[in-house]
Amino acid sequence: MQKRKLGNSTLEVSALGLGCMSMSYGYGPPGDKQKMIEVIQAAVAQGVTFFDTAEVYGPFTNEELVGEALAPFRGQVAIATKFGFRLIDGKQAGLDSRPEHIKQVAEASLKRLKVEAIDLFYQHRVDPDVPIEDVAGAVKDLIHAGKVKHFGLSEAAAQTIRRAHAVQPVTALQSEYSLWWRNPEADVLPTLEELGIGFVAFSPLGKGFLTGKIDENTTFDSTDFRNVVPRFTADARKANKALVDQLSAIAARKNVTAAQLAIAWLLAQKPWIVPIPGTTKRHRLEENNGSASLALTPDDLLEIDSATSKITVQGERYPEHLNRMVGR
């Protein structure tokens, strides 16, 4: 698989990473540990060198899974993890990006991941109670101590990115970006391009919706957080199917899947964008990774933009309490 550099940094990773959250958390019951290890190791065999996790996924169990699965490949892969939530008795209890807490999280994550340094350490969500300069300073200390290699932000606004970058260069911003969530194009992507910061796109398949395998009759497990996402109500799914229908029609003419077309579209936007689709299935891993070799022409991109721009996606991408945490 081709490699990409995250902005002007020295961090070079595979053009597609692997989001590991769904293996432990968020989309139904956790997967079988041994099978999930096999999926992660299959990703390495297919050329993936960039893996995404966080302490809150589980919590803690996803970092442990990723650490165990990637132990044989130390030095060959990059692992990104995140800090910034307060956890009490294994449950999220608000945000906490106090410098002393960041350093505690780093020490715990290093142990779970079985590494000597965290390749990319993101602030998971911007904490309004802690100046971003203090957050960047804490990560700068960890970098100087050799415990972290690169600093990242997740779902931060352009002005926050600028303030953080002035204290400690930001290697990457991670946010949702796909054909059904294009808001980063307004302010965030131009800011990243100006500052030389990479973009890591999570949910490049719209939490599974852009695969075409979900419709208004789909039911989700009771532990699947899509149950509380406004964009996934039955009415919204019925309305939003129009976008997937357009995508599927173009994909069929190119003899690829809708998922492959959606990921290839993201890769074509900027050479410093790295999508991290998540999956728990090896055949989906292979399908997703196949998109890295799908080259779209300017005419293809024009057709995709033209077809999808006529459709207004229905429903917020997060419930209100989570919406308040993004874009700060």
Q: Could you tell me whether strands 170-176 and 151-154 are parallel, antiparallel, or unpaired per DSSP bridges?
A: parallel
Instruction: Give the closest residue to 306 by CA, choosing from 318, 314, 298, 315.
Output: 298
In angstroms, how far apart are the furthest CA atoms of the chain?
Answer: 54
Polymer length of the chain = 328
CB neighbourhood size of 200 (10 A): 27
Instruction: Give the closest residue to 166 by CA, choosing from 143, 121, 132.
Output: 132
Residue 157 contacts residue 183 (beta carbons within 8 Å): no
- Active centre residues (catalytic): 57
Give the pair of three-digit tokens for residue 139: 């990560």
Instruction: Give the closest residue to 121 by CA, choosing from 153, 164, 74, 94.
Output: 153
Residues 21 and 156: their CA atoms lie apart, in Å, by: 20
